[in-house]
Structure 1
Amino acid sequence: MDCILETRQLTKEFKGFVAVNKVDLKVRRGSIHALIGPNGAGKTTCFNLLTKFLAPTSGTILFDGEDITKESPVRIARRGVIRSFQISAVFPHLTVLENVRVALQRQLSTSYHFWRSEHSLADLNDRAMHLLREVDLERFAALEAVELSYGRKRALEIATTLAMAPKLMLLDEPTQGMGLEDVDRIRALIKKVAADRTVLMVEHNMSVVSSIADTITVLQRGATLAEGPYEVVSKNPAVIEAYMGSTQTELVGAH
């Protein structure tokens, strides 16, 4: 298996509380891999370890076969490990086009020379519009981001993530708080952008996970409970027990 990302015995403790407990994770290149689990299972903490927003207590993180455990968040981002967050993070009073263009500026040697003429950024417009077409936002290019619906703001965030040229996209709850129409839009969008990229996602919506994830890792109390395709994981008695209650019906009946 060609793994783009691997963790070995990845562990994070907070004053005696083990939030992530010896997790061995293998993300296959070109796949959509989902992390699921009940609230408090350690999913977002795991994301924070992978992007070095948190330092692991022990264990190893490998990306493209290289040990990145001790690298800085900036260095890891430069390698192409780019994440989104649970809360949409766009510049509300910049236009949709300008939001993507800001993300593209990192490719220039003058990335943070904000005093330069706006005309110096014109070369980025074509690339920005291409990314907006990819997420079906081209017709909103001149609109201020604050005017977008919640679902389209998340689509814009995916466009800005794509602008960072990710090798591995980490999506944290990409459909959280969305209505059915927006969920369907983002589900289709993730499937589309994953055609030639690798995606690791934390997601609670089992209908989304079951329909697009190639592999699912189930966490419980910080440890791996089960792993495999949805058809296998959803029938695992330990997984069903972990999801007892309203989520159990959703897990087993997502298809």
Structure 2
Amino acid sequence: MSAILQAQGLSRSFAGFHAVQAVDLAVEEHSIHALIGPNGAGKTTCFNLLTRFLDPTAGRIVYAGRDITRDPAASVARRGLVRSFQISAVFPALGVLENVRLALQRGRGLSMDWWRSDRVLRRYDDAARALLDEVGLGGWADEPAQSLPYGRKRALELATTLALQPRVILLDEPMAGMGAEDIGQAAALIRRAAQGRTVLMVEHNLSVVADLCDRITVLARGQVLAEGGYAEVSADPRVVEAYLGRGTHA
């Protein structure tokens, strides 16, 4: 396989604080890749750089063979590099189907055609229902989004992300705030969404990471500390020290 998303010497400083320092990252196409590390390791900053919500201080980003280091975030998303956020981003007052329909509509161009009649917008209904079925929300299509339990709101967010026809999906802490009963279902959804796509995820739940991910990059203090499979990185004394605050000598 070849890397579809790469960071080369990626760095970002804020008033002298080095949040991300010379990060090299290669995400293989059609893989599930995790970016993990203790709090303050620079994971979300790295996500913001890769998706162009932040400009790097140094380094470059290559997506699908193209240098996107200075491209606008919206342009990058239109080319299929799409992210989610830690906080569920749906329109709570709209119906579940309407949320997905709006995301599908977004693929038509730059505008959300709020002024169009419902009859015209119904052209997206079949595709929206198919996406809802894909994430297990087929029976919730006519419910208001605000009535969904938290785990199902995250499933709706995944459906709206898939509506943008991503080639690479970046998930920022997809299990955050979920109870144990939702985590297994969410992991299954991510595995299903990854079929034919690439997933890069920031996640604190290491059991989920171990179960889902092909490769793991560990950040600490803004730098790459270790990389490899779960068994390899979890046994690395530097990773143990970064997470637990002590080394093997303690």
> After TM superposition, is the score higher than 0.5?
yes
Between the two proteins, the alignment pairs up a number of residues equal to: 246
**Which residue number corresponds to residue 252 of structure 1?**
none
**Which residue number corresponds to residue 126 of structure 1?**
126
State the shift of 1:109 in Å. 4.9
The percent of aligned pairs where both chains have the same amino acid is 59
Find the aligned partners of 2:109 and 2:217 in 1 and give their Cα distance: 39
CA change 1:70–1:153 in 2 (3 A) is: same
Find the aligned partners of 2:107 and 2:234 in 1 and give their Cα distance: 42
What amino acid does structure 2 have at the position aligned with 1:237? P
State the shift of 1:111 in Å. 4.1
Q: SS of the counterpart of 1:196? A: coil
**Which residue number corresponds to residue 164 of structure 2?**
164
**Which residue number corresponds to residue 235 of structure 1?**
235
**Which residue number corresponds to residue 41 of structure 1?**
41
Q: SS of the counterpart of 1:13? A: strand
Identify unmatched segments of 5+ residues in structure 2.
none
**Which residue number corresponds to residue 91 of structure 1?**
91
Are 1:190 and 2:186 counterparts?
A: no
Find the aligned partners of 1:35 and 1:13 in 2 and give their Cα distance: 19
State the shift of 1:110 in Å. 8.2
Q: For 1:41-98, what per-residue CA distance to the aligned partner results, in whole angstroms no more than 9, with x for missing partners?
A: 0000000001111100000000011100010011111111110000011100111000
Find the aligned partners of 2:7 and 2:239 in 1 and give their Cα distance: 22
Q: Which moved more, 1:184-193 or 1:110-119?
A: 110-119
**Which residue number corresponds to residue 207 of structure 1?**
207
Show the 5 A alignment for 1:1-255: 1-109=1-109, 111-244=111-244
RMSD over equivalenced CA pairs, Å: 1.2
Find the aligned partners of 2:184 and 2:12 in 1 and give their Cα distance: 34
Q: SS of the counterpart of 1:92? A: coil
Find the aligned partners of 1:102 and 1:144 in 2 and give their Cα distance: 14
Find the aligned partners of 1:68 and 1:204 in 2 and give their Cα distance: 28
Q: SS of the counterpart of 2:231? A: helix
CA change 1:63–1:95 in 2 (3 A) is: same
What amino acid does structure 2 have at the position aligned with 1:43? K
Instruction: Using structure 2 for the length normalisation, give the TM-score.
Output: 0.96
Q: SS of the counterpart of 1:243? A: helix
Q: SS of the counterpart of 2:195? A: helix
Instruction: Using structure 1 for the length normalisation, give the TM-score.
Output: 0.94
What amino acid does structure 2 have at the position aligned with 1:115? W
Displaced runs of 4 or more, over 2 A? 107-113
State the shift of 1:140 in Å. 0.3
